[in-house]
Amino acid sequence: MNTTIIIFGATGDLASRKLLPALYRLLQKGDLDGCTIIGVAHDHLTAEQILKNTKQYVKNWDDRIWKRLESIVSYHVVEFEAKHDYTKLAEHIDAIEQGKKSNRLVYLATAARYFCTITRYCAEAGIAKRISEQDRSWNRLAYEKPFGHDLVSAHEINRCITHYFDESQIYRVDHYLTKEVVDNIALLRFTNVVLEPLWRNTYIQNVQIILNEELGIKSRGSYYDTYGALSDVTQNHMLELLALIAMEAPEKLSGHYIRQQRADVLENVKVVDAVVGQYEGYRQEKGVRPDSTTETFAALCLQVKNERWNGTPFFLKTGKKLEKKETLIRIKFKNIDCLLEQEYCPSDSNYLIISLYPDATFSLVLNAKKPGKSFEVAPVTMEFCHSCVFGDSVPDAYQTLFEEIFKGELATSVSLREIEASWRIIDAVKSKELVVHKYEAGSRGPSEAMRVFSKKHGVGWSE
Ligand code: BG6
């Protein structure tokens, strides 16, 4: 069946860097046959200009595919808050569909403050309709993270959008949930007897979730300054990773079941400690307030209050303009009760490292004997490298995200329970009114974070 994809915020950074390149790849794969794409925003631009911006982000360029993309993309100017603009948009869509029955995906790549208005006007203009999934065609709406800016706003947005659409039509998207390695976490845990029985506080000392970025905020100053590191990546990507690591086995690895397990974890998370920072020079960035106290760095110590995890801290650390880009989960196992003479006992324990960036790998760090006559112990790594085994064919997260929405797979969408629970955690951190520590661009973050976490919690983030 034909599908019409309507992207609100089509002139923004996300659309040009991620959404349109992902749609290009789907077209290349032959998965967009019969689809049309309508970009929508308030800027007076043309489809050609928007696609020109996108070109630099498209890998494996093929002129034929590009021409086909050009032939299915159009652009329509809409002031998000001007109701009558939606009537014209509806006419534009009808003219393109020419009376053929089509699925419709409305993708809101806009600031969350527009979610309610856009949803309401789309519903009133008939751009998307409340239709049950039993119907032959579907109408779905995807909302980019962050969904709101705190618990109250998330609740308000949800109240508004569920007034117009059924929960089954709503996708609160988080592209981390469609990363290939992330998808693998649950499988790795529940299908390996060498891991599953150890996956608890008895054997795990701590879990570190690290999302370090080398880049700053680029052209996204005004967006970033409203949200900061806690709302931009911690409330969503990092807490979803925590939920996947800590959840109980779902009855099925899909939709409703997996969402329920993730929510159960997030509802039991308590904040133990937090340090925030801002890189030197942030206030001079375009779009940032000159007296901004927005955090560009956050380090948290969290506790999951349940039988499995009591006593095992979860450490989260993220920041912009740090020394290097690196995204990983490091699971530190407890030290063994060593039965050998002291001199042969390892000084360090085992680790499982799940790396999302720069490489997609799972590494198990074990202790082994160094070559030679003495019994000196050294850490050695057993590694599963995704591209070495499966080639470089790992799909991009946004490509998978579109595919999952087309299939109607809800596991990649975050449920309201998860959204509310994660905002509750972030609101609790923000209510502490923390001092914002300065840090040098290109460093490891504020020295205060290193001090607090190593002194109080014994974590140096890199061991
Ligand atoms: C986005 C954030 O959701 O995730 C960005 O808005 C961040 O600030 C990005 O850079 C990180 O995603 P990835 O896939 O590059 O790790």
Closest alpha carbon to 210 in 447, 419, 452, 449: 449
Q: Is residue 390 helix, strand or coil?
A: helix
Query: Which among 237, 256, 437, 457 is annotated as catalytic?
Result: 237
Which residues are within 8 A (CB) of 349 and not within 5 positions of it... i.e. 6 or more apart? 205, 332, 333, 334, 335, 336
**Which numbered atom of ligand 1 lies nearest the CA of 327?**
16
Query: Are 4 and 34 within 8 A, CB to CB?
Result: no
Q: Flag residues of the chain having pLDDT under 50.
A: 463
**Which numbered atom of ligand 1 lies nearest the CA of 356?**
16
Q: Is residue 133 helix, strand or coil?
A: coil
Active-site residue, 163 included: no
CA of 216 to the centre of ligand 1 (A): 11
Answer whether 233 contacts ligand 1 (Cβ < 6 A).
Answer: yes
Answer whether 232 contacts ligand 1 (Cβ < 6 A).
Answer: yes
Answer whether 78 contacts ligand 1 (Cβ < 6 A).
Answer: no
CA of 85 to the centre of ligand 1 (A): 31
Query: Are 209 and 315 within 8 A, CB to CB?
Result: yes
Residue 443 forms beta bridges with which residues?
322
Query: Are 461 and 453 within 8 A, CB to CB?
Result: yes
pLDDT tens per residue across span 134-192: 667 999 999 999 999 999 999 999 999 999 999 999 999 999 999 988 888 988 999 99
The DSSP letter of residue 443 is: B
pTM of the model: 0.95
pLDDT tens per residue across span 407-433: 999 888 999 999 999 999 999 999 999
**Which numbered atom of ligand 1 lies nearest the CA of 232?**
6
pLDDT at 133: 63
pLDDT at 463: 47
CA of 174 to the centre of ligand 1 (A): 10
CA of 19 to the centre of ligand 1 (A): 13
Taking every pair of Cα atoms in the chain, the longest distance, rounded to a whole number of angstroms, is 83
Question: Rounded distance, CA 188 to CA 396, Å?
Answer: 20
Residue nearest to atom 7 of ligand 1 (CA): 233
276: left (phi over 0), alpha (psi -120 to 50) or beta: beta
Structure tokens given for 65: 């595919």
DSSP symbols for 243-273: HHHHPPPPSSSSHHHHHHHHHHHHTTEEEEE
Whole-angstrom Cα Rg for the chain: 23
pLDDT at 67: 96
Question: Rounded distance, CA 201 to CA 190, Å?
Answer: 16
